[in-house]
Structure 1
Amino acid sequence: MFDYFIANFSWQSIAWLPIGMVLLTCPLAVRRYRRLSPGLRYLALLVCFDALMEITCSVFFNILQSSNLFLFPLITVGELLLLALAYRQVLQSATFNRVVPWVLGLFGAYAVFETILELHTIRYAVSLGIISDLALIGLAGLYFRKLLNELQVERLQADPFFWVSVALIGHSLGDLLITLSTNYLAAHYSLQLQRFLILGVRNIFNFLLYASYFLALAMRPLPAKSLSVQPG
């Protein structure tokens, strides 16, 4: 039964879910930008960046019938940069402010090196994906550490970055599992199962992450009780 489902599963049917979600979130991000806290403004910029990248990837893959894997380093660096800037506003940590430029600089340099090294090949940059996922889990972990240390947020569900952090951890752990199993799947399982996990399940994770962005940008947090610092 499962084999029949995998064989007949059309991952294209859910490929448009994350694209639709991020395109729905983008106008909200633009419309509410001036009223957002500094951290959420970077999240709004991230949504616009992701919308542009989703459209570009879709054009290359579906219209031009060409690989879009060469965009992966750009997407990875851009997303990590904007999320780090967003969490910088939320965490308000001097140590984080000192360390994060070095981390981003080294990661960006490695992404450039990886891109040049694989310039004439079509390959998913596994190492970049792993580093990015671990970094995103780290950002969310720092947020929850701040929550536990300060105990200032009375209603977690009212803080936008609570939902973003939960979604980031879920997305990154799922993506990390898929990334680590890519080579094993390629060696031992059918192409249909690979597409189901790598493309189908990953699209669902992306959809849920974009949904958390929409929720965060649509919320109106209380300034005194939220870690999402309001503009002065």
Structure 2
Amino acid sequence: MMLQIPAWLLTASEVLEWVSQLSVLVPLAIAWRRRTLFAPTVRVLFWYTYLSLFTSLALQIGRHLFHLNTPVQHLYTLLKTLLFGRMYYLALRRPWHRQLVYGLTLGFAGFAALDAFYLEGLTHFNSYGRAVQSLLLIGFAMLYFEQMLRELRVSRLEQDPLFLASVGLVIYSAGTGMLFVLINNFRESLSALTLAFDTVSLLNIAFNVLLTFAFLRAHPSEVEQSHQG
């Protein structure tokens, strides 16, 4: 027997989705005001906020005008991975770590294309691509955490913008990875699908909160610390 969801709960879920998508305006506004202070790594993070905002707009346009927004999801997954791959490539100092990030990012680009045009298709949610992306970005963040522990250049972790962004990325990726694997199986259950996307919305808000603090922690001195181009 299928569980019926009250109308007010569906409305609340829709409001939560809008709050989640618009929450990126907060870190974007702060980043815009402080953009001249950013190191190259944080500047890449700044570009992610634009990607997130424009993706949210494209998703709504696709849903209401074309009744299809899954191609936007496929493109967003690819571009997000490329951006964070670039960020960690700049942030990591060991050559083999950088080569690993570069190779895995290129490999993911190939997998994303395979998923879009063969495995799941552009008309279906890219659950495989999003799940693989989650594992990949968690791995990149772990490499950065290992570098911080090894070098001990930062006495207070909460003052490092990339640490804050990486924590947010790990929380979001770990919390949504399994949901993205199963999300196409939720199509027959509106209650399960609603709960899944509500969870994604809450985790996205948490991620944007940490991005906000990351941009607030960026200082001019960090430009001198970044030697990658």
TM-score under structure 2 length normalisation: 0.85
Equivalent residues in 2 for 1:119-198, closer than 5 Å: 122-182=123-183, 185-186=186-187, 190-197=189-196
CA contact (8 A) 1:89 1:228 kept: no
Give me the whole-angstrom Cα distance separating, in 1, the residues matched to 2:87 and 2:220.
Answer: 18
Provide Cα deviations, 1:174-197, integer angstroms capped at 9, x if missing partner. Answer: 11121233355456xx31232122
Find out whether 1:210 has 2:211 as its counterpart: no
Q: 1:110 to 1:181 in 2, by over 3 A?
A: closer
- Residue 9 (structure 2) pairs with residue 9 (structure 1): yes
Structure 2 unaligned regions, length at least 5? none
How far did 1:96 drift? Answer: 2.4
What letter corresponds to residue 226 of structure 2 in structure 1? V
Alpha-carbon distance in structure 2 between the residues aligned to 1:67 and 1:103: 30
Distance in structure 2 (CA, Å) of the matches to 1:67 and 1:143: 37
Q: Residues 6 and 139 of structure 1: is their aligned pair in 2 closer, same or farther, counting only changes over 3 Å?
A: farther
> Does the residue aligned with 1:123 lie in a helix, a strand or coil?
coil
TM superposition outliers: structure 1 runs of 4+ over 4 Å:
3-8, 118-121, 183-187
Helix, strand or coil for the counterpart of 1:9? helix
| Aligned with residue 226 of structure 2, among 209, 226, 229 | 229
201 and 150 in structure 1: CA distance in 2 versus 1, 3 angstrom threshold: same
User: How much does 1:97 deviate?
Assistant: 2.4
For 1:135, the aligned partner's letter is L
1:114 counterpart residue number? 115
Contact between 1:36 and 1:230, CA under 8 Å: does it hold in 2? no
Quote the offset at 1:48 in angstroms.
1.0
SS in 2 for 1:181: helix
Q: Which residue in the other structure is 1:21 paired with? A: 23
CA distance in 2, matches of 1:117, 1:137: 26
RMSD: 2.8
- 1:58 equivalent in alignment to 2:60: yes
When normalised by structure 1's length, the TM-score is 0.84
Secondary structure of the structure 1 residue equivalent to 2:24: helix
Residues 35-54 of structure 1 aligned to structure 2 (within 5 Å): 35-54=37-56
1:193 counterpart SS class: helix
C-alpha contact 2:138 2:170 (8 A) present in aligned 1: yes
Deviates more, 1:146-155 or 1:41-50: 146-155
Residue type of the alignment partner of 1:48: Y
Percent of pairs identical after alignment?
Answer: 22
- On the 8 A contact 2:74/2:116 being kept in 1, the answer is yes
Secondary structure of 1:167's counterpart equals helix
Q: How does 1:60-79 map to 2 (within 5 A)?
A: 60-61=62-63, 63-64=64-65, 66-79=67-80
